[in-house]
């Protein structure tokens, strides 16, 4: 969403992507459809730092994709921390599990294949940090499932909430279902008295909400 030269400057003045994350990025671009869905080094480092700063011990990721963000958040966890990550795409499972094994954090990562709308209600634990980056049409549903059980201070982040600028009517020819879903999610969070929130214009936009 920003000038390419400025984006490069940001990358040059941020913690550098290590060999494993670079490998995941390359393999994703070589082997996976829609590689732009990958969390990059700036977003990944932000997630890692927010997990560290919040002291989160129970992290939930809805939408694993190829595991880049999962590993970043896992690095932010303390010794007792755990991350549950869910994705409906079983075709990527073997590759992603290999990445998790290489990370040395396989014991911290609970990787589940299935529909998050069905998996989350089956869990008997609340989370103190949630990252939503899955199908846009269910963003509101995912949010509603997790926010109700979070303790005060818990954080929810949702990716792609600017949707390539299409949240503004002037940037779209018509209102498609995904854009409508993002608009509904942004409105839901903005009007929810249970949280305080801020939109971060990083990449495609991140909604950050803190449970009051």
Q: Rounded mean pLDDT of 185-197? A: 98
Q: What is the pLDDT of residue 3?
A: 87
Core vs surface per residue 19-42: b (16+ CB within 10 A) or e: eebeebbeebeeebeeeebbbbbb
What integer pLDDT is reported at residue 86 of this predicted model?
98
Q: What is the mean pLDDT of residues 65-72?
A: 98
Beta bridge partners of 113: 87
pLDDT for position 205: 95
Counting every residue written for the chain, the total comes to 212
Nearest to 183 by CA among 166, 170, 158, 204: 166
CB 197 within 8 A of CB 208: yes
Q: What is the dihedral of CA 154, 160, 161, 165, to 10 degrees?
A: 160
pLDDT at 43: 96
| Range of weakest confidence among 69-73, 124-128, 183-187 | 124-128
Average pLDDT for residues 152-175, to the nearest whole number?
Answer: 96
pLDDT at residue number 1: 66
The phi, psi pair for 198, rounded to 5°, reads -150, 140
**What value does the mean pLDDT take over residues 48-75?**
98
CB atoms within 10 A of CB 152: 9
Task: Please state whether beta strands 58-62 and 82-87 pair in parallel, antiparallel, or not at all (unpaired).
Answer: parallel
- Joined together, the tokens standing for residue 22 give 């670079």
- Predicted confidence band at 35 (pLDDT cuts at 50, 70, 90)? very high
| For range 106-123, the mean pLDDT | 97
Q: Which has the closest alpha carbon to 61: 46, 72, 53? A: 72
| β-pair partners for 109 | 83
Q: Percent of the chain scored above 70 by pLDDT?
A: 100
CATH of 4-211 among 3.40.50.10490, 3.40.50.150, 3.40.718.10, 1.20.1300.10: 3.40.50.150
Helix (H, G, I), strand (E, B) or coil at 44: helix
pLDDT > 70? residue 64: yes
Question: How is residue 101 written in tokens?
Answer: 């094994």
pTM of the model: 0.96
């Amino acid at each position: 969403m920003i000038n390419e030269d400025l984006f490069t400057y940001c990358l040059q003045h941020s913690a550098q992507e290590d060999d494993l994350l670079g490998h995941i990025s390359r393999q994703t671009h070589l082997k996976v459809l829609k590689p732009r869905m990958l969390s990059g080094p700036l977003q990944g480092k932000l997630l890692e730092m927010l997990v560290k700063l919040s002291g989160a011990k129970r992290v939930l990721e809805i939408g694993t994709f190829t595991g880049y963000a999962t590993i970043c958040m896992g690095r932010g966890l303390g010794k007792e921390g755990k991350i549950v990550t869910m994705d409906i795409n079983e075709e990527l499972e073997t590759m992603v599990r290999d990445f998790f094994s290489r990370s040395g954090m396989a014991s911290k990562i609970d990787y589940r294949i299935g529909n998050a709308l069905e998996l989350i209600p089956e869990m008997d634990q609340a989370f103190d940090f949630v990252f939503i980056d899955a199908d846009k049409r269910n963003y509101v549903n995912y949010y509603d499932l997790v926010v109700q059980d979070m303790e005060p201070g818990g954080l929810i982040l949702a990716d792609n909430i600017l949707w390539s600028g299409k949240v503004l009517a002037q940037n779209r020819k018509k209102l498609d279902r995904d854009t409508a879903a993002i608009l509904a999610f942004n409105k839901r969070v903005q009007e929810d008295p249970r949280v305080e929130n801020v939109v971060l214009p990083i990449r495609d936009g991140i909604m950050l909400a803190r449970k009051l």
